[in-house]
Structure 1
Amino acid sequence: MEVHFDAELWIWEARRTDAWTFVTLPRDISEEIRELGGPRRGFGSMRVHVRIGATTWRTSIFPDSTRGYVLPVKRAVRKAENLDPGDTARVTVTVLDL
């Protein structure tokens, strides 16, 4: 399953000093992913391949009880794509755990 969406980068408040930056998958996409089933990893995460701009990487998406699924955006990606919290990015996510 591959999805495309625009999302704003935000900092996880619980770990603000560590500057963990995420984007939230749209609710409808989160629901589709949840309905897919498939294997889940620690914390209910699923492995994904991601593209933002010209940068691609593998990571995991994590379920969040209020947001749906969230995707961490590592510092190297933010630097390569010149993104800061509050910016909006075009995101492509391919779910690998199916």
Structure 2
Amino acid sequence: MELTFDGEVIEWRGPAPFVWVRVPDGESAEIAAVARSLTYGWGCIPVAVSISGSDWTTALMPKDGRYLVPLRKAFREAAGIEVGDVVAVGLAFGA
């Protein structure tokens, strides 16, 4: 399964600040429909991510009925991406 969407870069302040792209409602619903077959535990879902010409693997995190795509600091700095930006995201599941 592959999905593409535009999402806003947000900061979530837990014990430490983390930067994410929130997956929109519709795409989150599509992921939730197949999550049981994809998750490795705690609702985390392994995924290949493509943003701004960079590709990496990570895990989506469930939060408030939606999913979050974590953005690594080194990637954000290299791509010039900041909190509040809207980025085009490609996700590939089962990769």
Q: TM-score, normalised by structure 1?
A: 0.87
Alpha-carbon displacement from aligned partner over 1:50-82 (angstroms, at most 9, x marks no partner): 00011110000011125x111101112111211
Find the counterpart in structure 1 of residue 9 from structure 2. 9
Partner-residue secondary structure (3-state), 1:42 = coil
The answer as to whether partners of 1:44 and 1:62 remain within 8 angstroms in 2 is: yes
Runs of 4+ in 1 over 4 A off after TM superposition: none
Find the counterpart in structure 2 of residue 77 from structure 1. 75
Find the counterpart in structure 1 of residue 51 from structure 2. 52
Find the counterpart in structure 1 of residue 18 from structure 2. 20
CA distance in 2, matches of 1:12, 1:43: 18
Higher strand share: 2
Partner-residue secondary structure (3-state), 1:76 = helix
Displacement of 1:84 in angstroms is 0.7
How many pairs were matched up? Answer: 94
Unmatched runs of 5 consecutive residues or more in structure 2: none
State the percentage of identical aligned residues. Answer: 29
The answer as to whether partners of 1:52 and 1:81 remain within 8 angstroms in 2 is: no
Computed over aligned residues only, the root mean square deviation of the Cα atoms, in angstroms, reads: 1.5
Alpha-carbon displacement from aligned partner over 1:9-64 (angstroms, at most 9, x marks no partner): 1111224xx33100111111111111113042232101000000111100000111
